[in-house]
């Protein structure tokens, strides 16, 4: 049995047990793990694969193979991944070569093998996923296209901004002409500009529950619950995470602020501080979610037990599209390490950093965060 990670062979076993420990990335990324079983003559008997860390969110299907722009010949294997939102199921996945149906599948893996087209005519490989509620989504590839035909995939990037004056007061009456966007110094076209007070918000609240929080945990829990009650509208959703030696989901994404409040009750303070791991774990909950996304991260000390280095966690945060509001509780000016991390996270993601000496000042901080989130 041969084991693959994203198409690269990692291990071969010739005797049972048919298991393997595989090397995966430090941070969660979409990864295809595949196993192929061969007989003594080297003939493929069976194969199976699984997509790890697949995105959530709206229904979506994506062709993973063949690679975009690759010249193909002989037998080609096409693979797709589909996003299945909670409460929905896939009815079928159909692969087509131009208008000819290659296969109709009702369960994963979503893959098919076919002979590469030999003609010079443009050939399209399409995959269509149909959900039980009737929703259909599609992805495609242009196969062996000529040098004059180029396939380009363009995604609109959403940038949510908050503007303040020199005193820190929010400014919400600026016209589009006062804004500019540059990518590596190059001006970019703004396709749409609007105030987004009414757009749904997806929020995460992440609280340090390590032993050092023992005296402050009560007020920290109450302040977080009050904040969620105030900031959430019926269209918003939020989740809650606590972390000490490792992160733990207190309440998954829900529109119910009362359920989140209950999740904070009886939360003990003990153990070490896995700040980096908690950051990555919490940001992972936003995968595949569109629209406004924000996270509040509260900690009273630097990381002591994470597996993920801060550089990797920061890079993951930068790519997440989530505005991170960090709160340093009792983090004095001499705590250079943790202050630098909290500031960097906020600056690099479009959030803000706050420092408070006592937990009884958290309500004021949460009020400021709420005003910002409603003034983007």
User: Rg of the chain over CA atoms, in angstroms?
Assistant: 24
CATH number, domain at 133? 2.60.40.10
Are residue 18 and residue 101 in the same domain, yes or no?
Answer: yes
Judge whether 194 lies within some domain. no
Supply the pLDDT for residue 177: 87
Judge whether 193 lies within some domain. no
Total domains present in the chain: 2
Cα–Cα distances in Å, from 57 out to 30, 53, 167, 265? Answer: 14, 13, 38, 29
Q: What is the DSSP letter of 213?
A: G
Judge whether 161 lies within some domain. no
Q: CA–CA separation, 4 vs 34, rounded Å?
A: 5
Are residue 251 and residue 362 in the same domain, yes or no?
Answer: yes
Residues whose CB falls within 8 Å of the CB of residue 302, separated by 6 or more in sequence, listed in order? 273, 275, 335, 337, 338, 341
Supply the pLDDT for residue 148: 46
Supply the pLDDT for residue 178: 86
Output the tens digit of pLDDT for each of the chain's 376 residues.
999 998 889 999 999 999 999 888 888 887 889 999 999 999 999 988 887 887 667 788 999 888 876 778 889 999 998 888 777 889 999 999 998 999 999 988 899 999 988 766 778 899 999 998 888 999 998 887 655 445 555 556 777 777 777 776 777 778 888 888 888 888 888 877 777 666 688 999 999 999 999 999 999 999 999 999 888 988 899 999 999 999 999 999 999 999 999 998 888 999 999 999 999 999 999 987 877 899 999 999 899 999 999 999 999 999 999 999 999 999 888 889 999 999 999 999 989 999 999 988 999 999 989 888 876 6
Are residue 239 and residue 335 in the same domain, yes or no?
Answer: yes
Supply the pLDDT for residue 28: 87
Judge whether 167 lies within some domain. no
Unique residue bearing structure tokens 């001006």: 187
Which of 4, 132, 134, 141 shows the shortest CA–CA distance to 62? 141
Q: CA–CA separation, 307 vs 299, rounded Å?
A: 18
pTM summary value? 0.70
Judge whether 225 lies within some domain. yes
Are residue 211 and residue 92 in the same domain, yes or no?
Answer: no
Omega within 30 of 0 (cis) for the link into 17: yes
Are residue 224 and residue 95 in the same domain, yes or no?
Answer: no
Are residue 126 and residue 216 in the same domain, yes or no?
Answer: no
Supply the pLDDT for residue 155: 58
Are residue 120 and residue 258 in the same domain, yes or no?
Answer: no
Judge whether 260 lies within some domain. yes
Judge whether 290 lies within some domain. yes
Are residue 245 and residue 352 in the same domain, yes or no?
Answer: yes
Residue 314, both tokens = 């920061």
Residue 331, both tokens = 């983090």
Which of 301, 238, 296, 251 shows the shortest CA–CA distance to 274? 301
CATH number, domain at 285? 3.40.50.410
Residues whose CB falls within 8 Å of the CB of residue 95, separated by 6 or more in sequence, listed in order? 78, 80, 101, 102, 103, 105, 112, 114, 125, 126, 127
Are residue 209 and residue 352 in the same domain, yes or no?
Answer: yes
Domain containing 367: what range?
201-373
Domain boundary pick from 109, 126, 143: 143
Are residue 211 and residue 328 in the same domain, yes or no?
Answer: yes
Domain boundary pick from 143, 159, 183: 143
């Amino acid at each position: 049995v041969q084991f693959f990670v994203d198409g690269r062979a990692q291990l071969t076993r010739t005797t049972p047990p048919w298991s393997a420990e595989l090397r995966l990335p430090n941070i969660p990324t979409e990864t295809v793990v595949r196993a192929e079983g061969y007989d003594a003559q080297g003939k493929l008997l069976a194969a199976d694969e699984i997509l790890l860390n697949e995105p959530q969110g709206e229904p979506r299907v994506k062709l993973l193979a063949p690679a975009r722009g690759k010249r193909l010949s002989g037998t080609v294997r096409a693979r797709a991944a589909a996003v299945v939102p909670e409460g929905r199921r896939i009815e079928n996945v159909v692969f087509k070569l131009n208008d000819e149906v290659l296969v109709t599948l009702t369960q994963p893996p979503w893959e098919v093998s076919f002979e590469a087209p030999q003609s010079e005519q443009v050939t399209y490989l399409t995959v269509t996923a149909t959900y039980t509620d009737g929703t259909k989504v599609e992805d495609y590839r242009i196969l062996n296209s000529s040098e004059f035909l180029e396939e380009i995939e363009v995604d609109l990037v959403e940038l949510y901004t908050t503007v303040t004056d020199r005193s820190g007061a929010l400014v919400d009456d600026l016209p589009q002409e006062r804004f500019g966007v540059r990518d590596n110094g190059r001006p970019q076209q703004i396709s749409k500009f609007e105030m987004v007070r009414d757009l749904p918000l997806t929020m995460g609240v992440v609280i340090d529950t390590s032993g050092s929080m023992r005296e402050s945990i009560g007020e920290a829990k109450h302040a977080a619950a009050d904040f969620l009650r105030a900031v959430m509208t019926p269209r918003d959703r939020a989740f809650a995470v606590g972390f000490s030696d490792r992160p733990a989901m207190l309440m998954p994404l829900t529109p119910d602020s009362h359920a989140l409040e209950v999740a904070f009750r009886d939360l003990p303070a003990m153990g070490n501080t896995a700040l980096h791991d908690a950051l990555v774990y919490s940001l992972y909950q936003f995968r595949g979610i569109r629209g406004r996304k924000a996270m509040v991260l509260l900690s009273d000390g630097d990381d002591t037990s994470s597996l993920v280095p801060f550089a990797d966690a920061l890079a993951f945060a930068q790519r997440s599209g989530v505005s991170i509001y960090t709160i340093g509780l009792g983090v004095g000016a001499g705590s250079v390490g943790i202050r630098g991390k909290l500031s960097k996270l906020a600056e690099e993601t479009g959030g803000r950093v706050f420092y408070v000496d006592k937990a009884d000042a958290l309500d004021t901080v949460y009020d400021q965060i709420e005003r910002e989130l409603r003034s983007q």
